[in-house]
Amino acid sequence: MGKADKRGTQDATHLLRDWHSVLHDQLRLSAHTVNAYVKDVEGFLAFLESHFGHTPQAADFADLHMRDLRAFMAARRAQGVSARSLNRALSALRRFTAYLKECDLPVSNAFDTMQAQKTPANLPRAVASQDVLQLIACALDGPKDKWLGLRDSALLTLLYGTGLRISEALSITRHDIETAHDMLRVTGKGGKQRDVPLLPLVTQALDDYLAAQPFGLRREDKIFRGQRGGVMTPRQAQALVSRLRRATGLDDSVTPHALRHSFASHLLAGGGDLRTIQELLGHASLSSTQIYTKIDETALLAVYDRAHKRR
């Protein structure tokens, strides 16, 4: 009997133990990753034992059919396992069966042909308009130096009032503001430029900040500066919003990018045209913007649900 034949009669859990050592000692994967992979394969072996009525052996992996894998996935779904967790389990099984092949053990091609589960897109969470106003008020009242409060409120007002990405907002120069009037030209991803309207409230916030900042900015200088005069970075902007949301007791989902989502969601809820919102956001395709139709629908359903429970 050859080496492969002997290992084919081996308990699959023994091979799983060997694979655990390979992942940890040779590939040096993190303990968290190794444990997640092993747990997923252990779950599959437990399913096979129930499915076939015997302790799974290495040779069983050669005889598996697509229907067996589908039965495993269906059983996991019935237990409430998410599509993402199912895909992670499938990934773990593919890595484990790749190891079996390296050990010269035959493996069914069902593992390679099994398609991943479709996962629902994460809907960005919009910040309520009253919460945005609360952030801005907190920004104005916070710092000892008045110009910093004006800077922070101007940045938040700009993000919420225009839907800019944080990188786009922090790239704005004094020249951009002075030539904007009621339209601001922005350079987005791939160097593509677009014009976004500036509401009077946004313009006023920017003007108040520029009048108060102490650095004498030149026309080509980026306007948003740190406390010591350096160009403000996205990390600093994220830290700013993090500090403000803690001060106001808002959820961790409130981020600079969430203000962009809020701009689009609230515009759509107010009757905004999807094509126009696409142009304002600088999305290359309409499909990227269509996610906001789902957000709006979700919000409407939530409102209906609350009203229904009060009846």
Mean pLDDT over the full length of the chain: 83
- Looking at the chain, the number of H-run helices and the number of E-run strands are 17, 2
Instruction: Render 67-111 in DSSP notation, one character per residue.
Output: HHHHHHHHHHHHTT--HHHHHHHHHHHHHHHHHHHHTT----THH
Per the annotation, the verdict on 228 as an active-site residue is no
The pLDDT score that the predictor gives to residue 307 is 45
End-to-end CA distance of the chain: 74
- Judged against a pLDDT cut of 60, whether residue 278 lies above it is answered with yes
Q: Which of 157-161, 211-215, 266-270 has the lowest mean pLDDT?
A: 266-270
CA distance 82 to 252: 23
Tell me which of 1.10.287, 1.10.10, 3.40.190, 1.10.150 is the CATH number of domain 3-113.
Answer: 1.10.150
Q: Which whole number is the average pLDDT over 110-127?
A: 73
Quote the pLDDT of residue 288.
Answer: 60
**Predicted confidence (pLDDT) at residue 142 exceeds the cutoff of 90:** no
Helix (H), strand (E) at residue 308 = helix 291-309
The answer to whether the beta carbons of residues 225 and 231 sit under 8 Å apart is yes
Class of domain 129-309: mainly alpha
Non-local CB neighbours of 178 within 8 Å, separated by 6+ positions:
219
Work out the average pLDDT over 49-78: 90
How far is it, in rounded angstroms, from Cα 38 to Cα 111? 17
Phi, psi for residue 57 in degrees, rounded to 5: -110, 170
Quote the CA–CA distance of 94 and 117 in Å, as a whole number. 15
Q: Is the pLDDT of residue 2 over 50?
A: no
Catalytic residue among 77, 95, 174, 283: 283
Higher-confidence position of 95 and 3? 95
* pLDDT, tens only, 210-244: 999 999 899 999 999 999 999 999 999 999 999 99
| The pLDDT of residue 306 | 47
CA of residue 230 relative to chain centroid, distance: 29
| Residue 9 confidence (pLDDT) | 59
Confidence of residue 122 (pLDDT cuts 50, 70, 90): low
> Annotated catalytic, 70?
no
Q: How many CA atoms lie within 13 A of 51 on its CB side?
A: 19
Tell me which of 291 and 180 has the higher pLDDT.
180
Give CA–CA dist 305/24, Å, rounded. Answer: 49
Cβ pair 189, 223 in contact under 8 A? no
189: annotated active-site residue: yes
Q: Report which of 91, 98, 13, 94 is spatially closest to residue 56, judged by C-alpha positions.
A: 13
**Residue 145: predicted pLDDT:** 86
pLDDT at 289: 62
Residue 257 catalytic?
yes
Catalytic residue among 225, 260, 261, 266: 260
Q: Residue 103 to residues 28, 58, 129: CA-CA distances in angstroms?
A: 19, 10, 60
pLDDT of residue 266: 78
pLDDT the model gives residue 41: 93
Q: Quote the longest CA-to-CA distance of the chain.
A: 87
CA 1, chain centre distance (Å): 52
Q: Could you tell me the two tokens for 14?
A: 């023994």
- The percentage of the chain sitting over the pLDDT mark of 90, rounded to a whole number, equals 37
Given this model, what pLDDT does residue 272 score?
72
Per the CB < 8 A criterion, the answer to whether 207 and 240 are in contact is no
Task: Give residue 264's pLDDT.
Answer: 83
Domain boundaries in the chain? 3-113, 129-309
Which of 165, 225, 245, 261 is the catalytic position?
A: 165
